């Protein structure tokens, strides 16, 4: 047999290779006759270039080489982001806070979470709030961090995967997001987030109704049954800390809360332990809460700049800033930078006046105690 008969030409680089080293591409072909097509055959190097430059994510599952390349790219991405293996399983990568995972299609969400009771979108109701992605199933409702949903979708985009679709694992209460080359899964938050979004929606609807002067002729009638007023000048610094403490105590996932003595200079006025849902079960994390009762000005970055230096003493998992004013852009930028800094092993939560007021509208007892 001649050398030409033993070797086959790659349809991209036009070099000749042993036939077994070429892969027929399911997305690239030429028509030899009307209605008759022949798939192009590529060598491994050309497949890598096509995958990186043109994208073969839609071929994952149909092309062995595309499936392998997708797995390699996801593994490299996970290592770069500092993700860990999910319970020692290959192809599934867990973020540092165990709140979401990413995986390729060599494994399925149902297999990983041992939950075959999946609900498709037409069996659920979805609502995207300001900070929360919500799922409702008949009389049950679940909240998921919109930030984490965005991180999953950004990972899809970074890896060239699109066509996002949501569904729900009913037994584990896990939200699954799939694309054409990989999938992600998120653990739920508590109903507290659902209540905050509900309150915010009501408030924004009230203001929108007034601003646009909507009425019956618009098919929109709003009955305002409760107006709460917040006079923050009534509170002293200590009273504001006590209010923040009561708010934290009211959260269903919080197990222990106390106002601390002697640590305010370190950036901690309150410490708490919360038990949260993760993809590996319930986990405890320590909250360090700093309270800023600033009536005359907004919170600046200089007001919190020393916080990372206190980490070695306080050892917290979450830094939570609460203020009855608002944050300057520089403060937001600093908190955003901390949240994205892999060298800082804590998450950041911020509640400004608007967020606190939204929450208190669902907490009449706490509201009355401080503003009634």
Q: Which domain holds residue 35?
A: 3-54
Residue 202, in any domain of the structure = no
Do 152 and 256 belong together in one domain?
no
Do 84 and 41 belong together in one domain?
no
Residue 320, in any domain of the structure = yes
Do 273 and 334 belong together in one domain?
yes
Do 273 and 171 belong together in one domain?
no
Residue 60, in any domain of the structure = no
Kindly give the interhelix angle for 353-360 and 364-371, rounded to the nearest 10 degrees.
120
Do 229 and 318 belong together in one domain?
yes
CATH number of the domain that residue 361 is part of? 3.40.1350.10
> How crowded is residue 343: how many other Cβ atoms within 10 Å of its Cβ?
6
Do 238 and 365 belong together in one domain?
yes
Do 266 and 335 belong together in one domain?
yes
Do 45 and 80 belong together in one domain?
no
pLDDT at 191: 63
In terms of DSSP bridges, do strands 125-128 and 165-169 run parallel, antiparallel, or are they unpaired? unpaired
In contact, 65 and 45? CB cutoff 8 Å: no
Residue 220, in any domain of the structure = no
- Give the C-alpha separation, 31 to 40, whole Å: 10
Residue 211, in any domain of the structure = no
Question: Which residue has 């987030």 as its token pair?
Answer: 193
Q: Which of the listed residues 163, 189, 215 is the one where a domain comes to its end?
A: 189
In contact, 144 and 186? CB cutoff 8 Å: yes
Do 20 and 83 belong together in one domain?
no
pLDDT at 31: 58
pLDDT at 225: 43
Q: What's the whole-model pTM score?
A: 0.65
Residue 63, in any domain of the structure = no
pLDDT at 12: 84
Residue 41, in any domain of the structure = yes
The dihedrals phi and psi of 207, each to the nearest 5 degrees, come to -65, -40
- List the pLDDT tens digit at each of the 372 positions of the chain: 444 557 888 888 888 888 888 888 776 666 555 656 577 888 888 888 888 777 777 777 777 888 888 888 899 999 999 999 988 888 999 998 888 999 998 899 999 998 887 777 777 888 888 888 888 877 788 889 888 999 999 999 888 887 788 888 988 889 999 988 899 999 887 666 777 788 788 778 877 877 888 776 777 666 554 567 899 999 999 999 999 999 999 988 898 999 997 666 677 899 999 998 888 888 899 999 999 999 999 999 999 998 998 888 899 999 999 999 999 999 999 999 998 888 899 999 999 999 999 888 888 889 889 987
Structure tokens at 25: 């591409």
Do 75 and 182 belong together in one domain?
yes
Residue 204, in any domain of the structure = no
pLDDT at 239: 95
Structure letter (DSSP) for residue 300: P
In terms of DSSP bridges, do strands 318-323 and 347-351 run parallel, antiparallel, or are they unpaired? parallel
Do 176 and 261 belong together in one domain?
no
pLDDT at 5: 57
Beta bridge partners of 286: 273
**Helices and strands (H and E) in the chain: how many:** 11, 19
User: How many domains does one find in the chain?
Assistant: 3
- Give the C-alpha separation, 79 to 11, whole Å: 34
Do 105 and 168 belong together in one domain?
yes
């Amino acid at each position: 047999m001649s050398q030409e008969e033993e070797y086959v030409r790659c349809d991209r680089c036009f070099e000749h290779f042993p036939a077994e080293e070429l892969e027929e591409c399911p997305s690239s072909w030429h028509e030899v006759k009307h209605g008759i097509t022949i798939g192009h055959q590529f060598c491994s190097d050309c497949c890598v270039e096509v995958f990186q430059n043109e994208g073969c994510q839609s071929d994952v599952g149909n092309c062995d080489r595309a499936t392998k390349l997708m797995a390699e790219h996801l593994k490299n991405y996970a290592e770069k982001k500092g993700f860990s293996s999910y319970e020692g399983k290959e192809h599934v990568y867990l973020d540092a806070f165990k709140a979401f995972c990413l995986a390729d299609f060599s494994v399925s969400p149902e297999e990983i979470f041992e939950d075959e009771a999946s609900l498709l979108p037409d069996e659920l109701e979805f609502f995207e709030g300001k900070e929360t992605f919500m799922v409702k199933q008949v009389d049950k409702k679940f909240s998921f961090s919109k930030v984490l949903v965005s991180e999953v979708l950004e990972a899809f985009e970074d890896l060239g995967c699109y066509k996002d679709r949501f569904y729900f694992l009913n037994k584990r209460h896990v939200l699954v997001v799939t694309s054409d080359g990989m999938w992600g899964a998120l653990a739920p938050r508590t109903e507290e987030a659902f209540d905050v979004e509900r309150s915010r929606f009501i408030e924004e609807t009230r203001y929108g109704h007034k601003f646009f002067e909507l009425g019956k002729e618009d098919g929109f009638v709003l009955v305002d049954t409760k107006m709460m007023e917040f006079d923050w000048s009534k509170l002293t610094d200590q009273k504001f800390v006590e209010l923040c403490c009561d708010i934290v105590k009211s959260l269903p996932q919080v197990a222990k809360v106390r106002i601390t003595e002697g640590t305010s200079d370190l950036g901690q006025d309150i410490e708490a332990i919360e038990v949260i849902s993760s993809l590996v079960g319930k986990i405890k994390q320590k909250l360090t809460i700093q309270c800023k009762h600033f009536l005359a000005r907004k919170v600046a970055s200089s007001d919190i700049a020393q916080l990372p230096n206190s980490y070695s003493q306080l050892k917290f998992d979450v830094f939570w800033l609460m203020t009855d004013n608002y944050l300057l852009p520089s403060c937001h930028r600093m908190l955003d930078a901390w949240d994205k800094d892999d060298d800082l092993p804590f998450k950041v939560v911020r509640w400004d006046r608007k967020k606190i007021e939204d929450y208190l509208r669902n907490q009449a007892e706490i509201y009355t105690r401080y503003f009634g």
